[in-house]
Every structure is written in structure tokens, then in C-alpha cells.
Amino acid sequence: MPSQLETAMESLILVFHRYASKDGKTGTLNRRAMRDLMNNELSNFLKCQKDPAAVDKIMKDLDTNGDGQVDFEEFVSLVVGLSIACEQCYQARMKNAAQKK
């Protein structure tokens, strides 16, 4: 039976490839696929963004090789960055909760 972390990694891979295969070119996300992925899978994150061009800016930042596509390795950097930000929020909440006791 897979561990919780193994299941989470499998979910990341499956989600990426579900969107990467939409344009017929498997293994990368074009701008439209990236927008679809973020709208469907990261909708709460996008709601917090005040910049309507947030997805385009994220796409540009992720596309480190400048080919107009985001491969899995580039995509993982988004997941890592968001995970770090979420963990920092978690730590702040835990600290606030401990101070209130």
C-alpha cells in the first residue's frame, strides 16, 4: 500500500499529465493547458491573486528554457513554491493558536 507521500506524488504526476495531454503534445503544458490546470486545480490560489495576468506571469517564470511550454520539472517548481508558502502560513497559524492558549 502506498504511503501518503507516495500517493501525493502520484497525484501531482497524474494531474500534470491530464492537462499536458490535452493539446496532443504530451509532456508539456502550453499556455492554455497551464491556465486550465490553474483554474481547475489551484482555483483558491488564483482567487487570491489581484493581478488578472497572474497565470501569464507564472507561466513566464516557470518556462525557464523559454520554449513557451512548461514541462514537469518546471511545473514542480510551482508546486514547491506554493507548498513552501502554504507551510509558512501553517506555521504562522500554529504560532498564533499557541499564543492564544
CATH topology of domain 4-100: Recoverin; domain 1 (1.10.238)
Domain ranges of the chain: 4-100
Q: Are 71 and 57 in contact (CB under 8 A)?
A: no
Q: pTM for this one?
A: 0.79
pLDDT tens-digit profile, the chain (101 residues)? 999 999 999 999 999 999 997 767 678 999 899 989 988 998 887 777 777 788 888 888 888 888 889 999 999 998 998 888 878 877 888 888 888 76
Looking at residue 44, its pLDDT comes to 81
pLDDT of residue 3: 97
Sign of CA dihedral 76, 79, 85, 86: negative
Evaluate the CA torsion angle 88, 93, 94, 96 in order and state its sign. positive
- Given a contact cutoff of 8 angstroms between Cβ atoms, the answer to whether 26 and 17 are in contact is yes
- Can you give the pLDDT at residue 15? 95
